[in-house]
């Protein structure tokens, strides 16, 4: 059964907007921004799920979910970085900024429900005495002022590793444990008391970090990326919309770009913002293998 002309036009209009559907938030100031990512990843806002894209403006209450092989780099308004590893679920629960006594105060509550996470304040940090950040895990809470920490929740076990700085960690109603020594770790096994804070090697910290670092050439998309992945190029409007919807459902921030070829209207389904050609090739391979899309190519145009 054919889709009515008005319905098709509306569907294409939405598809052409693509990831820019998040843009109006920037007018009132974002609570965080997506700086870089490796797809697939999704944003859930007000109960609605859509693919995450570089440059997306986030607000309190947003939830980010990452897929296999995915990574996400978020930037908070005061400059701190939040990195997420694959198969993570993270909520930007609350972000507040206010001026008090001539000093800018920054408060945030971040919730890591699953996966690996890293929080790092800026290297030239000037706000550490005016920052209060609470990172909630399923059973742990870490209170942060200015520091670099890594954490993970998986298979019922929660891990908090202090890279540098100072934090306090509490589980449930237990008294908080202060961590002030770099390269130390707090482990809370499932159904057992937390282990004493212990030292870990630089090699172990590096292994932790690799779970949240973006990997060059593995499909990185960025606000400054110029490469594009074309997943379909067809004169058939319905076919273009079908590919567009499959990509977005799978966590790839696709849009439809109308064009004219040899005097005829065509519809190009593309993913923009890819950082390098190698990153584009990595994503193209995923789309061929996982979604069965064979006519996929990478271009600067």
Range of the domain at 254: 220-299
Residues 129 and 172 both lie in one domain:
yes
Question: In whole angstroms, how far apart are CA 102 and each of 16, 20, 34, 145?
Answer: 45, 36, 29, 19
Range among 20-29, 49-58, 92-101 rated most confident: 49-58
Q: What is d(CA 272, CA 221) in angstroms, rounded to the nearest whole number?
A: 8
Residue 289 — very low, low, confident or very high, per pLDDT cuts 50/70/90? very high
Question: In whole angstroms, how far apart are CA 294 and each of 218, 277, 285?
Answer: 19, 18, 9
What is the DSSP pairing of strand 220-222 with strand 167-171? unpaired
* 26 domain residue, yes or no: no
Residues 92 and 180 both lie in one domain:
yes
| Number of domains the chain contains | 2
* In contact, 252 and 51? CB cutoff 8 Å: yes
Residues 175 and 240 both lie in one domain:
no
Domain final residue, candidates 210, 238, 255 = 210
Angle (CA) 272 219 11, round 5°: 35
**Which CATH number is 37's domain given?**
2.60.120.1440
Residue 19 pLDDT: 41
Domain final residue, candidates 210, 243, 260 = 210
Residue 188 — very low, low, confident or very high, per pLDDT cuts 50/70/90? very high
Angle of the 5-17 helix axis to the 237-249 helix axis, nearest 10: 40
Domain final residue, candidates 210, 234, 258 = 210
Nearest to 89 by CA among 125, 126, 49, 120: 49
**Which CATH number is 258's domain given?**
3.30.70.1070
The reply to whether omega before 228 is within 30° of 0 (cis) is: no
When pLDDT is averaged across residues 166-178 and rounded to a whole number, the result is 92
Residues 159 and 260 both lie in one domain:
no
When pLDDT is averaged across residues 185-201 and rounded to a whole number, the result is 94
Tens of pLDDT, residues 71-89: 999 999 989 999 999 999 9
* 18 domain residue, yes or no: no
Whether pLDDT at 116 is above 60: yes
Residue 131 pLDDT: 82
Q: How far apart are the first and last CA of the chain?
A: 35
Dihedral sign for Cα 176, 177, 182, 188, please: negative
Residues 105 and 226 both lie in one domain:
no
Give me the residues paired with residue 159 across strands. Answer: 152, 187
The reply to whether omega before 40 is within 30° of 0 (cis) is: yes
Residue 26 pLDDT: 40
When pLDDT is averaged across residues 258-282 and rounded to a whole number, the result is 95
Residues 127 and 182 both lie in one domain:
yes
- For the beta carbon of residue 107, count every other beta carbon within 10 angstroms: 14
Whether pLDDT at 273 is above 50: yes
Least confident of 3-12, 48-57, 134-143: 3-12
* 99 domain residue, yes or no: yes
Residues 43 and 165 both lie in one domain:
yes
Residues 124 and 267 both lie in one domain:
no
* 83 domain residue, yes or no: yes
Residues 185 and 227 both lie in one domain:
no
* 7 domain residue, yes or no: no
- Rounded to two decimals, what is the model's pTM? 0.88
Whether pLDDT at 291 is above 80: yes
Q: In whole angstroms, how large is the CA radius of gyration of the chain? A: 21
Q: What is d(CA 144, CA 175) in angstroms, rounded to the nearest whole number?
A: 16
* 274 domain residue, yes or no: yes
Residue 123 — very low, low, confident or very high, per pLDDT cuts 50/70/90? confident
Whether pLDDT at 6 is above 50: no
Residue 126 pLDDT: 58
Residue 97 pLDDT: 79
When pLDDT is averaged across residues 166-181 and rounded to a whole number, the result is 92
Residues 71 and 92 both lie in one domain:
yes
Least confident of 19-33, 162-176, 223-237: 19-33
Residues 225 and 199 both lie in one domain:
no
Residues 206 and 152 both lie in one domain:
yes
Residue 118 — very low, low, confident or very high, per pLDDT cuts 50/70/90? very high
When pLDDT is averaged across residues 274-280 and rounded to a whole number, the result is 97
Q: What is d(CA 254, CA 231) in angstroms, rounded to the nearest whole number?
A: 9
* 6 domain residue, yes or no: no
Residue 127 pLDDT: 53
When pLDDT is averaged across residues 15-43 and rounded to a whole number, the result is 70
Is 222 buried (19+), middle (13-18) or exposed (0-12) by CB count in 10 A? buried
């Amino acid at each position: 059964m054919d889709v009515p002309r008005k319905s098709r036009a509306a569907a294409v209009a939405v598809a052409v907007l693509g990831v820019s559907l998040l843009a109006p938030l920037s007018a009132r100031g974002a609570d965080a921004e997506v700086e870089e990512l490796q797809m697939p990843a999704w944003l859930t806002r007000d109960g609605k799920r859509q693919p995450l894209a570089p440059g997306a403006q986030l607000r309190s209450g947003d939830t980010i979910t990452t897929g296999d092989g995915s990574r996400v780099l978020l930037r908070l308004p005061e400059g701190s970085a939040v990195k997420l590893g694959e198969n993570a679920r993270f909520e930007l629960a609350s972000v507040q900024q206010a001026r008090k006594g001539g000093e800018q105060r920054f408060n945030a509550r971040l919730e890591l429900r699953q996966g690996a996470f890293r929080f790092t304040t800026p290297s030239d940090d000037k706000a550490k005495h005016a920052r209060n950040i609470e990172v909630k895990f399923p059973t742990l809470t870490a209170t942060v002022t200015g520091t670099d920490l890594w954490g993970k929740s998986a298979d019922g076990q929660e891990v908090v590793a202090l890279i540098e700085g100072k934090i306090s960690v509490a589980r449930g109603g237990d008294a908080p444990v202060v961590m002030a020594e770099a390269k130390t770790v707090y482990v809370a096994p499932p159904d057992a008391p937390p282990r004493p804070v212990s030292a870990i090697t630089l090699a172990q910290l590096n292994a932790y970090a690799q779970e949240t670092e973006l990997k060059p050439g593995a499909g990185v998309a960025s606000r400054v990326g110029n490469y594009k992945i074309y997943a379909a190029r067809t004169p058939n409007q319905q076919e273009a919309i079908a590919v567009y919807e499959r990509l977005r459902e799978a966590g790839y921030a696709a849009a439809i770009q109308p064009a004219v070829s040899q005097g005829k209207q065509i519809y190009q389904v593309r993913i923009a913002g890819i950082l390098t050609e190698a990153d584009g090739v990595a994503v193209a391979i995923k789309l061929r293998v996982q979604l069965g899309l064979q006519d996929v190519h990478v271009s600067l145009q």
